[in-house]
Structure 1
Amino acid sequence: MTIETEKLYTHSFEFDQAGWRWSHFSVDELKCDCEHFCEGEYYHAPKFLDALEKMRRTLGAPIIINSGRRCAGHNHAVGGASQSMHTKEIAIDIKIQPHPRKSLYEAAIQCGFTGMGFGVNFMHLDMGRKRRWDYPHAIELWKKELGFNPLMR
């Protein structure tokens, strides 16, 4: 198995990190961190990681990951969608700070992310089919900063 192969690892320690080229991110911050339902599921997706690394370079400042891969049990426990990309492949929820919402949105588009969820303090990103959604009390913040409704784009 090469580092370029997309694959689910039921235990993150099974993944051989030799050749890891995404210097701003680690398996530890992308794996399921529930510590209850699994032993650190990790979905390795080089295309996703390339986009994430490009986004980090584009922003010029750290991207803080709140949530990466989630096993089914953890996703259910946190109230995630039943068909969440966090459980199918890999998705991330990132903290808004220290970035302006507009910078995050523009970088996500530029780097190829297609699934976007707009929260008050976070942004969801994945590479599934193109779709947009919001979380409670968030869309007005995004509309104000972007100057348009990102759900309509």
Structure 2
Amino acid sequence: MGPTFSPCPKATVCFSPEQDCAVPIISEIDQSKESILVQEYTFTLGTVAKSLINAKERGVDVKVVLDKSQLHSKYSVISELFSNGIPIWIDNKPKIAHNKVIIVDNQKVITGSFNLSKTAEKGNAENLLIIENYPELVQQYVKNWEIRMSQSYQYAP
């Protein structure tokens, strides 16, 4: 028998402000079944926060790593996520934790320049990429998420 290859990867793209890139993010979160790992620089978008909270209430294991700037950001959703039982880690080791990554069910990676903010959604020229059917790549993102989490401290108000 010959070597086994991953199925062909599938990629979906979105570009703001022409497209509302929060829509595919929320769709992927709403379809999640097991786990969601979030790694974000800026997280002020309430619609995505609500979707994560709903996923948590459905029994999905949701975990979030945020940049330290979110501790003092006026519109940060950190308190809303925490008060709804979502564990949060603050990545304060690097100067800026500038990642924008969501890993869904260890099967999909959502990444790009798109911050989870109204500015990214409605004002900035941003990109979003959703990658599926590429387990080797997804595992690299999971590994990086775990490294960032291990070097962060758990948030407690």
TMscore range, shorter length: under 0.3
Higher strand share: 2
Q: Which one has more relative contact order, counting CA pairs under 8 Å at least 6 apart?
A: 2
